[in-house]
Amino acid sequence: MSTPSGGMRPGLATAFAVVGFGALAICGLGVLSLVTGEDVVAVRGLGPIPGAVGFGAALIATATTLAISLRAPRPSYATAALTGVVALLSYLAGLIVSAVVVGVDAARALAAAGGFAVSWFGLLLVVAAAIAGWFAVALVRTRATPPRWTWERDEDE
């Protein structure tokens, strides 16, 4: 379950980080929407599909970025910033493309993406992805191990 350096395997760290990113982003976007009283994607007539597709694109991009970046022998914590930027750009691309596919005109799709990018929602998505990226790098670089009960420990410990 660990690499020769003592850290967690990159694939497992990526899986944990992507699940964490998804949970943190969904919770954060929901709470922020509740507190501000604004919709996450505030363009009329867009529907729920473009936002969901954008979020799926952000999840896939985060997983891909981490899967590639964590393969390095000692991955850099700068991966966290890259993960945040890639997640936001992927969200915006997924939002625009899916909005156009479902029949929304391009101007409204671009307005939705632009509004999201400069809102607190966009910042929250970047921060959630960056936290997940940092977490994944930390899991690979440190001697992180899953928690174990007392009876699971070796006698030599």
The parent domain of residue 110 ranges over 10-144
Question: Does residue 150 sit within a domain?
Answer: no
- Count of domains forming the chain: 1
CB atoms within 10 A of CB 129: 32
pLDDT tens sequence for the chain (157 residues): 445 456 789 999 999 999 999 999 999 999 999 999 999 998 888 889 999 999 999 999 999 999 999 999 889 999 999 999 999 999 999 999 999 999 999 999 999 999 999 999 999 999 999 999 999 999 999 876 667 788 877 666 5
Question: Does residue 139 sit within a domain?
Answer: yes
Question: Does residue 153 sit within a domain?
Answer: no
Question: Does residue 42 sit within a domain?
Answer: yes
